[in-house]
Amino acid sequence: MPGKMLPGVQMIELAKVLKFPPSSGTYLVLPFEVTDGDSVRFYWLYEGAARLFGINTPEMHGKDSVRGEAAKQFLQGIMPRIPVAARAMGPDKYGRTLLDILDVQGNSLGQRMIAAGHALAWDGKGAKPV
Residue boundaries of the structural domains of the chain: 20-121
Between CA 73 and CA 22 the distance in angstroms is 28
CA 124 to chain CA centroid, nearest Å: 14
Between CA 61 and CA 58 the distance in angstroms is 9
Q: Answer yes or no: CATH 3.30.300.30 is held by domain 20-121.
A: no
pLDDT < 70: residue spans in the chain: 1-20, 45-47
pLDDT tens digits for 59-96?
999 999 999 999 999 999 999 988 889 999 989 888 88
Task: Give the dihedral sign, CA 26/32/35/37.
Answer: positive
pLDDT at residue number 43: 83
pLDDT at residue number 1: 37
pLDDT at residue number 68: 96
pLDDT at residue number 19: 63
Please spell the DSSP secondary structure of 92-116, one letter per residue.
-TTSPEEEEEB-TTS-BHHHHHHHT
Q: In this structure, which amino acid lies at residue 51?
A: R
